[in-house]
Amino acid sequence: MAPEISSTHVHDIMQPKSELLYPATDIIYKLLKVVGAEVCSFHRNQQVAYRLVECARDLFDAINARIHLVDKSDSWEDYEIYTQAIDPLEEILLKFVLIAFDDGGLDHLATSSWAEYVRVTEQWRENRLEIRNCFRSMKTKPQFQALISTLMDGEDDILDAYILDDLSYLDYLLRIIEEGAQQIVEPKVKGYIEKVVEGLSKTRTLQHNNLGKHGSRFMEISALPIQCGFLASKIITMMVNVSIPEDIRNRLTSDSSFWGALANLVIDTYNFMVSQLINVEEFDQTEITITITKFTTRYTVLVNQVSEPLAIEMPLAYSRLLPLVGKISRRYHAQSLLLVAICRQATSQFTGPKKNMGSRDVLERALNQTVAALEAAAQGSGSGRSNPVNGVVTNGTEGIKKAQDSIDDCTGLYKQSVDELMACFQAMEIRCDTDYREALRQAQSRDSTRVSDAAERLNKYEHPSTMKVTVDVYDNNQQGNKVKSLLFASIPATARLSYVKHLAANQLEDRASAQAGHFERAGSSNDESSFLSLGSEVRGAVNGSNAIAFIAHPSGKR
């Protein structure tokens, strides 16, 4: 029988290791909590974000330690060191928290118009650069290096995090492209798509094989392969999406010139990256800049080429409808579903001869009115994502009056939305056999009844935001050697297993075995059904004892 292994208590990246807390660092402490809660749910820029928060946590501990020393020894040197570090650390975290909130809402595949796609991908590029600049500042500022001397040797850690994030995102984009490509039947286009996949895969392998100091030669051009992956995955998704008008899908599918140009750009970018490794002495910075500018121009031409068949686009307001529904309380739930259903019926007719500027104008007015109604209801619900700014609660008679005013305002806005949508139906000559004004009144009645019934039966309940998680680490499989049992006292329930893997890897001496490792359901047999994706949330991955198994591979290979 294997010996019992005691649990190792592990610090979350946002949890200070020291118990020393001082008012001077209170803002840093609160920012750490907010930023940490955001980054643990990241699906890109993960390594940079994790390490940034870890570094901020360590600097926070170091500042508090210096405050403690000054308290004991009255040291002027320690006083200067910690006081000069507080403001810069606060500024970086304040900047980063805004980027973190913004980046979490960017999804190039979910955009409903080409203009929005261009905006989202440009915003991704800017956020990626800003996140990396924040991380580099935290590693290189003299004020921080005076606190933690090991930061002066942090260049390899910075480059390593950059490349690992690029590799992870390229993997994701390649999966999207390959899955969509299986549905493409036009042979010439399919052949070009295969070349795009091959070029991006070779680029990924090249970067993976040059982690560390050689990776610095790719930094200026490293965003371009990902942008090409963005473009390929978005176009393929549109080509196979039946909700996209058939005429647009046909034009995208038949445009082999676009795919040929994209494949050539991907291959040329890869060849240039190879030349950077082989012919280091033959390039000067001016030549490198000129070459990258030419590649970027070719990418921009491709983006503009796609926009031509999409000149008359779906109004942007349509993409805002669905995310709002989940932020609206049950008081307006059925009514909101009705409005969204009517909007979908209208937008489904925005195709063929009806896809013209006149139809777009009336559709946009109706959608904007509906978004305004849903936003008002969402604001009245007090729901939505976490925010570091505390809200104000109004009690008593004044609060009741404001609540009733809010209900009356929303009711009026919902009625106006139905009126605008009916006007849109008439202008676009959409046949409608339903009295949607009466349907809205019935939905209002259902919402009111459900809220009243629920209020009688439910007590106030706060959903737990964190949970204890035990990660049992095994060699090769769960029947093998159990090498560690890691106890995480406080993990956000929505954290992804990629985040838990990062924490667990920091506790293992063999980093290669951790990188090659994977998660399985605790106590399960070694088969495919037990395998857990790194994108899985913690709350759905643990067993009844809040445990999960991590299988390490000492050879570094699966």
Q: How many CB atoms are closer than 10 A to CB 483?
A: 17
Strongest mean pLDDT among 82-91, 151-160, 211-220, 377-386: 82-91
pLDDT tens, 261-278? 999 999 999 999 998 877
Q: Quick one: pLDDT at residue 114?
A: 79
User: Hey, what amino acid is at 478?
Assistant: Q
| Own/partner pairs, 345-350, CB within 8 angstroms, 24+ separation | 345/430, 346/421, 346/424, 346/425, 346/428, 346/430, 347/314, 347/318, 348/243, 349/428, 349/430, 350/314, 350/428
pLDDT at 401 over 60: no
- Which of 19-33, 48-62, 373-387 shows the lowest per-residue confidence on average (mean pLDDT)? 373-387
In three state form, how does the secondary structure of 447-472 look? HHHHHHHHHHHCCCCCCCCEEEEEEE
Over 50: is that where the pLDDT of 424 sits? Answer: yes
Question: How far is the CA of 405 from the CAs of 236, 298, 400, 443, in angstroms?
Answer: 48, 55, 9, 20
Tell me the C-alpha distance between 447 and 450, whole Å: 5
Rounded to the nearest integer, the mean pLDDT of the chain is: 85
Mean pLDDT is highest, among 261-270, 451-460, 528-537, for 261-270
* 431 CB neighbour count, 10 Å cutoff: 6
The predicted structure's pLDDT at residue 385: 42
Residue 512 has pLDDT above 90, yes or no: no
pTM over 0.85: no
Q: Is 343 left (phi over 0), alpha (psi -120 to 50) or beta?
A: alpha
Separation CA 558–CA 552 (nearest Å): 9
Nearest to 52 by CA among 65, 38, 73: 38
Predicted confidence at residue 245, as pLDDT, reads 67
**DSSP secondary structure code for residue 383 in this structure:** -
pLDDT for 387 equals: 38
pLDDT band at 92 (very low <50, low <70, confident <90, very high): very high
Tens digit of pLDDT for each residue in 140-173? Answer: 999 999 998 887 777 888 888 999 999 999 999 9
Residues in the chain: 558
pLDDT of residue 29 exceeding 70: yes
Q: Residue 496, SS3? A: strand
129: left (phi over 0), alpha (psi -120 to 50) or beta: alpha
Q: 452 pLDDT band (50/70/90 cuts)?
A: confident
pLDDT surpasses 80 at 12: no
Q: Per residue in 427-450, pLDDT tens?
A: 898 998 899 999 999 999 999 998
- φ and ψ of 312, to 5 deg: -95, 105
Question: What is the band of 84 on the pLDDT scale with cuts at 50, 70, 90?
Answer: very high
Mind giving me the DSSP string for 19-85? ----GGGHHHHHHHHHHHHHHTT-SSSHHHHHHHHHHHHHHHHHHHHHHHHHHHH--HHHHHHHHHH
CATH number of this structure's domain 466-552: 3.10.20.90
Instruction: State the SS3 of 100-146.
Output: HHHHCCCCHHHCCCHHHHHHHHHHHHHHHHHHHHHHHHHHHCHHHHC
Tokens standing for residue 363: 């559709």
Whether 397 has a pLDDT exceeding 50, the answer reads no
pLDDT for 137 equals 94
CA distances from 210 to 159, 218, 266, 277, 456 (A): 10, 9, 19, 9, 63
For the segment 351-365, what is each residue's pLDDT rounded down to a tens digit?
Answer: 877 877 678 889 999
DSSP 532: E
- Give the pLDDT score at 214: 58
Condensed to tens digits (0 to 9), the pLDDT of residues 313-341 reads 778 888 889 899 989 988 999 999 999 99
Q: Place 458 in a pLDDT band, splitting at 50, 70 and 90.
A: low
Which range, of 200-209, 253-262, 312-321, averages the lowest pLDDT? 312-321
What CA–CA distance (Å, rounded) separates 159 from 149?
19
Q: Are 331 and 452 in contact (CB under 8 A)?
A: no
- Nearest residue to 38 via CA among 90, 95, 103: 103
Q: What are the residues facing 482 on neighbouring strands?
A: 474
Output the six-digit token pair for 453.
């019934």
- pLDDT greater at residue 258 or residue 150: 258
Helix (H, G, I), strand (E, B) or coil at 223: helix
Cα separation, 31 vs 37, whole angstroms: 10
DSSP-based helix, strand, coil % in the chain, nearest 5: 65, 5, 25
Q: How far apart are CA 538 and CA 503, in angstroms?
A: 13
